[in-house]
Amino acid sequence: MSAVSKKETTAFMRLLNYSRPYWWRIVVASLGSLGVGGMDGAMAYLVEPVLRKIFSGKETGIFVLLPMGIVLLFAVRGLCRYTNDFFIRTAGQLAVQDVRNDLYRKNMGLGLGYFTRNETGALMSRVLADVNTMQEGVANVITGLFRDGISAVSLLCVIFYRDWRLALISFIVIPLTVIPAQKIGKRIKSLARHGQEKMGDLAGILQETYSGIKVIKAFGLEAREVERFRQCNQRYYFFIRKNIKYEGLSTPIMEFITSFGIAAVIYVGGSNVMQGTRSASEFFSFITAMVLVFNPIKRLLASYNNVQRSLGAAERVFEVMDEEPEIVDAPDARDLGRATGAVEFRDVSFKYDDDYVLQGVNLSASRGEVIALVGPSGGGKTTLVSLITRFYDPTGGAVLMDGLDIRKRTMKSLLEQIALVDQETILFNDTIANNIRYGKTEATDEEVAAAATAAFANDFIADLPEGYETNIGDRGVRLSGGQRQRLCIARAILKDAPILILDEATSALDTESEQMVQQALNNLMKNRTTFVIAHRLSTITHADRIVVLEKGVVAEMGSHEKLLDNDGLYSRLHGMQFKA
């Protein structure tokens, strides 16, 4: 077995494994399939005796009851078909729901580096479009195996019972359909995989344009974005067009090949009837069964294309599920408990790919200290604090908390020690109370209000129509920049963690709001270890130590006054900001 076929088989088995918890639905659907297949076989089998009794035996009673029998037969067949369709499709939907949940859970467990390497639209496409394609495959596979398979088997039994010689003549061409079916199926799988990638590109453009709509409109570039989307959409169409072409070729090719078998049966069987060696009713019974059996066989061959398309999507989904998280708990990792807040960087280095961002950083912070990180953009400030939260692990050296390597502690207990206010105000499409409560999900309404008051957010919240129950929209779009930042600060205050990371926490505030929030932050910093990233040097003059990072190296370290006296990089940065 080739490596490719092994990969396909593995993906297919993993896909079917998701259906196992819903086996009883599949059993009920199988019983419905038996009914459909049995009715098809019975209908083909009864053609001969019914025709013989009506036309040869002149039994008019059967002729009178025949319409009622046909209606009853199709009523039972319809009920069985509905049972099959309903339970098969719900089983498939539940199975794919589990796939989507597992995929999302896997995404949430991957490190931050994975998300920086992959476009948001591509990740969204795998969770939505790829999983939907898998769903179609699951439903088609199970439906094909049961309903169409049972129908085909029952009709084949009738055909071989009536005349095994004619049956062999009619199906001698079936093996000839396997080769084109396989080649077409492989091509459809390849096109489906590339088509899903193009769908990811479309999702990426949508995500970018909707989240950046203000910038697009401010620069008047709506037409350019529309054209970019149109071109990407056209590239997606090219793949879909090829897919449609191959799917459209599949059925005509199969029908053309099988027509030789049908033609041979009609010629041989019809000759036997004219020669008197076979009755017309026997021949019509055989023809009925043969015509009926080609439909489920054709559907089985067509479902092969659906399976190939589904496998293309499944492989993309399972690639994510098989992705090894970069940041995991060590086998002997233990909980931290409540940390005192002492943090140490011991000869820490870090690089993205081959480019070093930090090199040989040595820095320690005791409980209650305020450490400010300043320096030119790209100096490694945000990367340094990201190592505390284990968004990344250092390439060399170690980060210690309370004297212990944080890689020896569980991620859950580590993150409980840290509150983060980022320069990008991340809020969710939910109420103000729930956004603040994100820092402590079990917090009471009183605790939420107290945190908001400490962040000087209570006044503007009280002025909103529904107060704390006001929905703030996607990413807090209904609030001003300063209001969004104060909610993020309230969220950090509520968490009450021993370590604070403030990455440009006051950057979006006006002067008055900044003074109020800075006062709240000063009170919050007491007895807590705080790392402050700042570009406005006026906000960190009170820091116990200021660390100047340049090109990933600690260039200077000391108090505000000491660094000004050194006449180094900090002094030059300070001079540029306060030149006026």
How confident is the model over 62-100, as pLDDT tens digits?
656 666 767 777 788 788 888 877 888 788 778 888 888
pLDDT at 189: 67
Sort strands 499-503 and 529-533 into parallel, antiparallel or unpaired: parallel
**How many CA within 13 A on the CB side of residue 263?**
7
| Domain limits, CATH 1.20.1560.10, in the chain | 3-321
pLDDT tens track for 17-63: 887 888 888 888 878 877 776 776 666 656 656 656 655 555 566 65
Which of the given ranges, 119-133, 196-210, 407-421, 522-536, has the highest pLDDT on average?
A: 407-421
Residue 121 confidence (pLDDT) above 80: no
What's the CA gap between 51 and 53, in Å, rounded?
6
Question: Across the strands, what pairs with 546?
Answer: 372, 558
Average pLDDT, the chain: 78
| Domain limits, CATH 3.40.50.300, in the chain | 368-384+410-577
- Percentage of residues of the chain with pLDDT beyond 70: 81
Which CATH architecture is the domain 3-321 placed in? Answer: Up-down Bundle (1.20)
pLDDT tens track for 413-470: 888 888 888 777 778 888 889 888 887 888 888 998 988 888 888 888 888 888 888 8
Average pLDDT score over residue span 373-391: 88
Average pLDDT score over residue span 556-567: 86
CA-wise closest residue to 38 among 85, 71, 73: 73
Measured CA to CA in angstroms, residue 146 lies from 9, 61, 125, 296 at distances of 20, 36, 31, 11
pLDDT at 345: 93
Q: In the CATH hierarchy, which fold is given to the domain comprising 368-384+410-577? A: Rossmann fold (3.40.50)
Confidence of residue 534 (pLDDT cuts 50, 70, 90): confident
pTM: 0.71
pLDDT at 362: 92
pLDDT at 214: 67
